[in-house]
Amino acid sequence: MKATIYDVAREAGVSIAAVSQVMNGKGKISEERRAEILKVMEKLNYQPSVIASALTGKKTYTLGLLVPDISNPFFAEIARAVEDQGHNLGYSLVICSTDNKDERVERYLSLLQQKSVDGMIIGTGMDNKEMLTPLMERSIPVVMIAREMPDLAVHTVVVDDFVGGKLAAEHLLKLGHVNMAILAEHTKVTSSRERVRGFMSTLTEAGIQLPEERVRNCRYTVEDGKRQAIELLEKSAAARPTALFCCNDMLAIGALQAAKQLKLRVPEDISVIGFDNTILASVTDPPLTTIAQPIEPMGKHVVDLLILELKKKSQAKQRVVMRPELIIRQSTTVPAK
């Protein structure tokens, strides 16, 4: 069996209060007693129970992370960043893949509460934003990453999606494209909406109009990206776009596959630009030009905000917007004339 505080106390011939004090560095203990207790703890290989300690109102040192799917490289990379910073600060991470289903979100939220996690990091969308209010009422710290719920007072760390869309547009514009299309996510995904908005507004400034049918909403899968891209591209050279802005790397990969299937060369016949700069973007062929999210700093920052909040409650909620960056690889070039 595991040694308990009682075992240590008995073995050291002191009270459990004394043991507790040396663990927490509180109270006054004579040097010799402290040394003796430490020695016994060592000898018994004593590991204090986080469970017991949590029951007395202390923290569980556990955080929950909700993402749509941990097997999706973007969220896996976020998870790693969050895990690392959490670990630095002494916290463990429970992962929760929601598949973007409200029912799963709800289940996980409830589970995490029952397990008394110290805080939650939300990186998943949800239709019903009311789901978070019970948490706030119970003052369980919540922060958001890569997603936002504007009318919720929580710390949020996102990339500047509008600027991201703008960067993509500027890049394509500079290359000389005028005839473009967009593979977007579902319209309820704010980040995607903003990316589209940034992209479109830049086109508009350049005097270019994008017909409505050139903006396709896709599910977050390679397959759907491919399907929609095919619809966009299976036209005569004159009728099809020369460049495709995809709101995430998965969709861009779908676009790449669509091009291949249609025997179109990337980038000569069709330029493709992605978003996120996950590992996927670097292994495709051709490697994907994409808009990078600073995933690691974002994860680190969101954890810092969460820990800050659960230490000293109540402070102005901040919305941290990080700057995206254009990563030029080889999936974009000047349009064929």
Partner DNA sequence: TTGAAAGCGGTACCAA
Partner DNA sequence: TTGGTACCGCTTTCAA
Positive or negative, the CA dihedral 279, 283, 285, 288 is: positive
**Parallel/antiparallel/unpaired status of strands 180-184 and 243-246:** parallel
Nearest approach in angstroms of CB 203 to a second copy is: 28
Question: By C-beta, is 69 or 160 nearer to a second copy?
Answer: 69
Residue 79: both structure tokens together:
């998870």
* Residue 107 CB-half CA count within 13 A: 10
Residue 285 binding result from a second copy, DNA, none, given CB thresholds of 5 to 8 Å by partner type: a second copy
- Residue 305 burial by CB count (10 A; 0-12/13-18/19+): exposed, middle or buried? buried
Note whether 208 binds DNA by CB under 7 A.
no
Nearer of residues 26 and 337 to DNA, judged by Cβ: 26
Residue 6 touches which member of a second copy, DNA, none, C-beta under 5-8 Å by kind: DNA
Residue-by-residue DSSP string for 93-136: EEEEE-TT-HHHHHHHHHHHHHTT-SEEEE-S--S-GGGGHHHH
Q: Provide the minimum distance between the beta carbon of 110 and DNA in the complex, in angstroms, as a whole number.
A: 13
| C-alpha torsion angle, residues 104, 106, 112, 118 (rounded to 10) | 130
Q: Are 232 and 181 in contact (CB under 8 A)?
A: yes
The residue (of 25 and 207) whose beta carbon lies closer to DNA is: 25
* Single residue of 11, 29, 195, 309 touching DNA by CB under 7 A: 29
Question: Whose Cβ is closer to DNA: residue 45's or residue 71's?
Answer: 45
3-state DSSP assignment of residue 184: strand
Picked from a second copy, DNA, none, the partner binding residue 268 (CB below 5 to 8 A depending on kind) is none
Instruction: Identify whether the C-beta of residue 321 lies closer than 8 Å to the C-beta of residue 158.
Output: yes
Dihedral of CA 244/250/255/260: which sign? positive
Please tell me the distance from the alpha carbon of residue 245 to that of residue 203, in angstroms, as a whole number: 12
Question: Which residues within the stretch 45-104 sit at the binding site for DNA (CB under 7 A)?
Answer: 46-49, 51-53, 55-58
Specify the residue, 17 or 206, whose C-beta has the smaller distance to DNA: 17
- Quote the least distance from Cβ 82 to DNA, whole Å: 26
Contact window for DNA (CB under 7 A) among 17-25, 76-84, 94-102, 209-217: 17-25
Which residues, in sequence order, are CB contacts of 137 under 8 Å at separation 6+?
none
Task: Identify what 27 binds: DNA, a second copy, none; CB under 5 to 8 Å per kind.
Answer: DNA
Q: How far is the CB of 107 from a second copy (least distance, A)?
A: 8
The one among 10, 11, 16, 204 contacting DNA by CB under 7 A = 16
Nearest distance from residue 65's CB to a second copy, in Å? 9
Query: Which spans of this chain sit near DNA (rule: CB under 7 A)?
Result: 2, 4-6, 13-18, 20-21, 23-24, 26-30, 33, 46-49, 51-53, 55-58
